[in-house]
Every structure is written in structure tokens, then in C-alpha cells.
Structure 1
Amino acid sequence: MTLDTPMIRLGTRGSPLALAQATEVQRRLIAAHPDLSEDGAVRVVEIKTTGDRVTDRPLAEIGGKGLFTKEIEAALAAREIDVAVHSMKDVPTWLPDGLELAAYLPREDVRDAFFSPHADSVAALPEGARVGSASLRRQAQLLLVRPDLKVGLIRGNVETRLRKLAAGEVDATLLAVAGLNRLGRAAAIQTRLSTDEMLPAVGQGAVGLEIRSDDEDTYKYIRTLNDVATETRVSAERACLEVLEGSCRTPIAALAEIGERERFHLRVLLAEPDGSAAWRTEREGPLGDALPLARDAGAELRRSAGEAFFERLADLF
């Protein structure tokens, strides 16, 4: 490399999925910008996060889903990397000062995949079956339709979870279809659950690129990768989440979609962790009204559940 050659450092977790996502960003950047084609101009930097190191407890008990991003964001703020590559469902509702989401890759399949040697669907699981999941969102939706199920903690990457399932530690588990697709493991998927059966997490299937707000040079490179439809959908889901002050302590699911004639449609679910109650709402309108519609949906659910609901969940962890 010469002194005039630009260099962009992509910070990421070290899991196989995270590395696959960062490599995709690297490939897209080089394809879009010939001046980045020189070897080493776009580098992938692995960063170990607390969420990767602590795998024996729910995220809510050790600080929330920000544990998958805070070390990467610290490296970004310290100028040790130029771009943080995130799975958007792991990104907290509020970003640190001085950082911003600059671009999104095209969104992958938002659905969850079901795996079990005993059944092909949640409904067909035996009475009292053990389902492994680290997600309160999945847990709540499972228990809404099958209160007899025993939902317990299972964390780790895709291979770890499938290995635990094969070893009989649980009777079933769920994984994001997007991650399996990005890992080239789509053929392993047993059943894809419809979004009516299992509404996805906010930002599920989307990869976001975070930069320093004052880094205009990196912004110009990264922004060319932005998928506007994904940006609109994920921004709306996160706007709803912000009103609900959502965290991994709160079972929240949301899916924004863009239909014919640029119509915006949003479905949102808020639930008790044990599936004993749930509140749902939908919004539809012009695409230009996506953010106010999403905030209005969040406000409705907040009123429906009541402030005591959020205070009680905060006290649980």
C-alpha cells in the first residue's frame, strides 16, 4: 500500500456469523470502490465482546444486548477501527454520543427457524418439551401458544446450539434464518416459522454499519452500500422500540414492511416473559409517515401494558 491508499478497518465480533457479515461488507466496499481494491485497504478486525465471553447466563442478567456491541463501539470511538459491523438485532436502542448508523446492507430473511428431532413445528412438540433459547422474545411467543413448554437458556453460536440439541440437552431450539443463510447453512433448516407464528426481533436479518459522526471520509465510502428500504424498515422498528424503552429485559417483537405503492405496514408485539399476557398493534400508511406511525404504535402499547409492567420487568434483573 502507498501513503495515498485509503484504509478502512471493519470492527466485528469473532463469531463465524459476525465474520461472514464483515467479509460481506469488505467485498461490497471493494466492488463499489476501485481505490479500495489494493490488498489490505479494507481490513477486518476481530474484537472480543463480553457477550461472547459470558455464555452461561441470560444477557439480561449481565447487562443486556449491548454486551455484543460496547467493546466494538469503544474501539470505534478510540479510532482503533473505522466501522463497526453489527447484527442490528444486537444494537441497543440508544447509541453512544458521537457515533451513528451510516448504512444498512439489504435485509435478509427475517424469519426464525425451528429445529427439533421430535417435531416439525411448535404445535407438534410433545407435552412439556424443553426448548432452548436465550431470547425473551422467542420465549414469550412460545409460551403464548404452548404454556406447557419448558423454555430454558441455551446460548452460543449456531454450531454450539445445534450440537446441544443433537446431544439431547433440549428438545427443540430456534435460530434466525438470516444467520443460517449467511453461513451457507440454509440446507440445514428444518422449518421456517412464518412471521404470524413468531414475530421477529427489531432489526432481525439486517446488518448495520456504525461510524464516528465526524468521519466524513468513511461516511462517503460506507453510504454507497446503503439499502434504503432496509434503512426505512429498521429505523421504524427502532423508533417504536425507543418509545417502549425496549431492552433484552422486555419481550418485544416488531416487523416493518413496505408493500405495493410504497405503503408502510408495521406489526408490534409486547408480552409478559412467561407468555401470560400480550399486547399487539399494527399501523399502515404512507411510507413517508413510517417513523411517526411507529412511534404512535409504541405509545399505544406502552399505554396498554401500563407503566407498572415496565417497572416490574426492570426490577426482575
Structure 2
Amino acid sequence: MADSATLVIGTRGSPLALAQAHETQDRLCRATGRDETQFALKVIKTTGDAIQDRPLSEAGGKGLFTRELDIALLEGAIDCGVHSAKDIPTYLPEGIMIAGYLPREDVRDVFISARAARLQDLPPGAVVGSASLRRQAQVRRLRPDLAVTLLRGNVQTRLAKLESGVVDATMLALAGLKRLGMTEHATAIFETDEFLPAVGQGAIGITARAGDDRVLDLLARIVDPETGYALAAERAFLTVLDGSCRTPIAGHARLRDGVLDFRGLVLRPDGSDAREVALSGPPAEAAALGAEAGRDLKARMPADFLTL
């Protein structure tokens, strides 16, 4: 740390990443009674930010948005890293742990288009752009008559490409639009039973050095146990399926009346086939529940399901 009174928060430099880092900073200020100068932000450019011309799955998959922050953590340049939880790899480098998650935002995806009020209303052959294999596969599953193409970039870049006519429609996370104050761009909101979100969607995950008790104690004041249970189930599900940016996988857990409900979905990239699972259990067994859901799906998938 810069000094004994300062915690350095590492973040990417995109507008959404900075909004998430500022939310973390604000929560720390409120929880500790200290001002923001005690929780400095340090912007770190990641490999994922530099790649705009091809799918992340072709460049190494998950970890491209976290690798440089992990290095900064291990070198002591930052004290914690703030990430979109869905960007955090299944396996973390030795010496780094997830300290917890901030209270989760809305997990739903939104449809954005000037040509139609809903995905179902797009004319055949319309072009839908997305960087997410999960979104691409679910669109193809619902509307195999549409053209689906890669659309990379931050939220503002994707909206600009949509406005210029590069694509006819796109999908984004409602949580990101809320954090950026840009919900007016949403044409329609997908309910989760129609369009299942990504594992970790809507949650902000905070990483720290394992054993760094002072930092972990500070972060413990702002992390949310309920979100932690949900993410434990979702990430365990992903681990069993060996999920990466190369695999269209969706998963969502939520705590209701003391019971953790989980839904999972795996699709072929072309949307031609899918396998679903739904399980419930006590939150204390969240990781076991997610792992069981993953094993159930894996047992019901053809051997080549995750490779085609």
C-alpha cells in the first residue's frame, strides 16, 4: 500500500469499470467513515481492452480482463482488484482470492434496436451484433433466421456502432446500463426465463491477496453474503463444465425465502441444441448445488457437445 492509511483499488479504465471501482470506493468510505483519498484508484490497461478485432475466445478467453490486475496485486502495486464478476476466471493465480462481491445489480439482459421493439419483431435477415457467445447462441436458438455477428468494444462503442448502422440490434447487461446511467438506451428487457444471463452477471467481484488480513478485513465490511452464495453456486457450475469464453454457458442463482434456486443452460454455438437444469438447496451448500447442476448437465450432453 502507498501508506498505512491507504488502500489502492485496481481497475480497468473503461467507463463501466471505473463506475464499478467508484462504487467500491464509495462503499468503503461509508463503511469506514474515511474520505476517498484513503481509497485511491489505480487504472491498469488489460490485454482484453487492447483486443477489438476478434473474439476473446481466439485470444485466450477468460483472464484477458484480469491478468494485468493480478500481476499488480501480486507485485503489491494495488491492494485489491475490482472486476465484473463474469470476467473473473474459474481458476485464480496462486496467492489471489475473491474477497467477495458487492450487492448484485439486476442480472437481466436488454435488447437494443431502432428497428424493432423486441427481438421477436426483427425482420428476417436482420443483423444482431454481440461479443458474447452465450448471447449469440441464445439469439440463434430463438431466431435462427437472423444474422449474428461479432460486436466488440465497451458499452459506448457498441451503442455508437448500432447507431451508425453496423448492426440492426445488440444486447447488453442491464446492470451495466444502470451503473452508467444509460438505461434509456434499452428497447426491451429480457426476463431470465427467456434469456438466461451469464454466470456472475450483475455482480462486482473484488480480488485480493490471500492472507492479507488488513485488506480482507476492510473489504469484509462491504461485501454481500447473499450475492456470495449465488456466485458460489454459479462459479461451481462453470467449473464442472470447464466453462470459458469458448463455451455458450448461462447460469443464475438467487436466494428466495432461505432457499437458493439455480438454473443452468449450455448451448451449441449455433443454437441448434441446448441442455437445461434447475436445482434448489440451502445457501450453505451453494457450491455443492452448482457442482451437482454441472454434473447433471454434463451427464446428459453428447460427448462432442462442448466442442462443436
- Give TM-score, length-normalised by structure 2: 0.97
User: Is 1:304 matched up with 2:300?
Assistant: yes
Aligned pair partner of 1:47 in 34, 44, 47:
44
Aligned pair partner of 1:287 in 267, 283, 290:
283
Tell me the distance in 2 between the aligned counterparts of 1:204 and 1:66. 16
Letter in structure 2 aligned against 1:299: R
Tell me the distance in 1 between the aligned counterparts of 2:74 and 2:304. 36
RMSD: 1.3
Tell me the distance in 2 between the aligned counterparts of 1:281 and 1:20. 34
Letter in structure 2 aligned against 1:139: Q
Asked if 1 retains the 8 angstrom alpha-carbon contact of 2:110 and 2:172, the reply is yes
User: Is 1:265 matched up with 2:256?
Assistant: no
Tell me the distance in 1 between the aligned counterparts of 2:237 and 2:81. 23
SS at match of 1:19: helix
Tell me the distance in 1 between the aligned counterparts of 2:304 and 2:159. 38
Tell me the distance in 1 between the aligned counterparts of 2:285 and 2:205. 22
How far did residue 289 of structure 1 move?
2.7
Letter in structure 2 aligned against 1:280: E
Aligned pair partner of 1:193 in 190, 193, 198:
190
Per-residue CA distance 1:20-58 (angstroms, 9 max, x = gap): 110111111111113x42x63210000001110111100
Per-residue CA distance 1:145-184 (angstroms, 9 max, x = gap): 1111111000111111111011110010001000000001
Aligned to 1:138: 135
Aligned to 1:277: 273
How far did residue 285 of structure 1 move?
2.3
Change (3 A) 1:277 1:159: same
How far did residue 308 of structure 1 move?
2.6
Which residues of 2 match residues 117-196 of structure 1 at below 5 A?
A: 117-196=114-193
User: Is 1:253 matched up with 2:281?
Assistant: no
How far did residue 94 of structure 1 move?
0.7
Tell me the distance in 1 between the aligned counterparts of 2:51 and 2:286. 37
Asked if 2 retains the 8 angstrom alpha-carbon contact of 1:51 and 1:65, the reply is no
Which residues of 2 match residues 216-235 of structure 1 at below 5 A?
A: 216-235=213-232
Letter in structure 2 aligned against 1:22: A
Counting matched residue pairs gives 307
Which residues of 2 match residues 82-121 of structure 1 at below 5 A?
A: 82-121=79-118
SS at match of 2:121: coil
Letter in structure 1 aligned against 2:103: P
How far did residue 304 of structure 1 move?
1.4
Aligned to 2:24: 25
Letter in structure 1 aligned against 2:22: T
Tell me the distance in 2 between the aligned counterparts of 1:119 and 1:275. 22
Asked if 1 retains the 8 angstrom alpha-carbon contact of 2:84 and 2:205, the reply is yes
Gaps of 5+ in 2: none
Tell me the distance in 2 between the aligned counterparts of 1:122 and 1:163. 19
SS at match of 2:287: helix
**Deviates most, 107-116 or 286-295:** 286-295
The percent identity for this pair of structures is 50
Letter in structure 2 aligned against 1:29: L
SS at match of 2:120: coil
Tell me the distance in 1 between the aligned counterparts of 2:13 and 2:221. 25
How far did residue 70 of structure 1 move?
0.5
Letter in structure 2 aligned against 1:121: R
Gaps of 5+ in 1: none
Aligned to 1:212: 209
Tell me the distance in 2 between the aligned counterparts of 1:258 and 1:242. 21
SS at match of 1:40: helix
How far did residue 214 of structure 1 move?
2.0
Asked if 2 retains the 8 angstrom alpha-carbon contact of 1:8 and 1:42, the reply is yes
Per-residue CA distance 1:196-243 (angstroms, 9 max, x = gap): 121000000000110000211101101111101000001110001000
SS at match of 2:106: coil
SS at match of 2:137: helix
